[in-house]
């Protein structure tokens, strides 16, 4: 019987060990799958980045070629200006100066117009704020009108009134207020 118990214990231990090994294998397979997915995602990111980099290099090369072309044209223009007669060079300078003055005047006019628009807008906002503050001040000076008047409305407009036009104090609701008449207040 003892040998049988030992054999059972050994079988249970072997079974437990086998179960643990299977769980560990499943866990490792899951980790491998996750890591493979991460590697694939990184490979895709690297491929996209590589494509973006190649595109940026092509764009840079095109820009360098355009810059060289513009530099060459600029050199040719400078040579033409320096080789041209003094009258031609003066004409170019006069035209450039006149154009610069026009641009400056236009910029000044637009800045002045923008300043006027902003000033007008600020004045309007300021006037609205003053009116609102004056209304609040008047309400604070006369607390009896605080519940009668609504800010921004004529003095005779009531903000809280019952179905018969009676005044409802702030602490009462419509049910209790309807029991009172206007003369009660």
User: Does residue 11 lie in a domain region?
Assistant: yes
pLDDT bucket at 185, cuts 50 / 70 / 90: very low
pLDDT bucket at 118, cuts 50 / 70 / 90: confident
Does residue 158 have a pLDDT over 50?
no
Which is higher by pLDDT, 94 or 7? Answer: 7
**If 0-12 CB within 10 Å is exposed, 13-18 middle and 19+ buried, where does residue 180 land?**
middle
Total number of domains in the chain? 1
Picking from 68, 73, 71, 92, the residue whose alpha carbon sits closest to that of residue 81 is 92
Does residue 92 have a pLDDT over 70?
no
User: Does residue 102 lie in a domain region?
Assistant: no
Does residue 68 have a pLDDT over 80?
yes
pLDDT score for 10: 94
pLDDT score for 16: 95
Which is higher by pLDDT, 101 or 147? Answer: 101
Supply the mean pLDDT for the chain: 76
pLDDT bucket at 152, cuts 50 / 70 / 90: low
pLDDT score for 142: 66
Residues, the chain = 185
User: Does residue 19 lie in a domain region?
Assistant: yes
Q: Can you give the residue range of the structural domain that contains 15? A: 1-60
pLDDT bucket at 125, cuts 50 / 70 / 90: confident
pLDDT score for 183: 46
In sequence order, the β-bridge partners of residue 167 are 161
User: Does residue 136 lie in a domain region?
Assistant: no
Picking from 128, 151, 129, 126, the residue whose alpha carbon sits closest to that of residue 138 is 151
Does residue 151 have a pLDDT over 80?
no
Query: Comparing 81-95, 103-117, 132-146, which segment has the lowest mean pLDDT?
Result: 81-95
- For residue range 161-178, what is the model confidence (pLDDT) as tens digits? 555 555 555 554 444 444
């Amino acid at each position: 019987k003892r040998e049988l118990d030992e054999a059972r214990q050994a079988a249970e231990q072997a079974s437990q060990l086998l179960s643990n090994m299977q769980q560990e294998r499943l866990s490792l397979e899951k980790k491998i799958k996750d890591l493979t997915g991460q590697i694939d995602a990184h490979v895709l990111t690297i491929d996209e980045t590589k494509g973006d980099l190649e595109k940026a290099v092509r764009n840079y090369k095109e820009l360098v070629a355009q810059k060289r072309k513009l530099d060459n044209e600029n050199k040719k223009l400078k040579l033409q200006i320096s080789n041209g007669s003094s009258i031609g060079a003066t004409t170019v300078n006069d035209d450039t100066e006149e154009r610069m003055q026009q641009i400056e005047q236009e910029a000044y006019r637009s800045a002045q117009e923008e300043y006027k628009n902003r000033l007008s807008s600020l004045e309007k906002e300021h006037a609205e704020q003053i009116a609102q503050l004056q209304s609040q001040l008047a309400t604070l000076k006369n607390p009896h009108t605080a519940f009668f008047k609504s800010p921004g409305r004529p003095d005779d407009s009531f903000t809280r009134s019952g179905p018969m036009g009676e005044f409802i104090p702030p602490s009462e609701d419509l049910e209790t207020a309807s029991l009172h008449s206007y003369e009660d207040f």
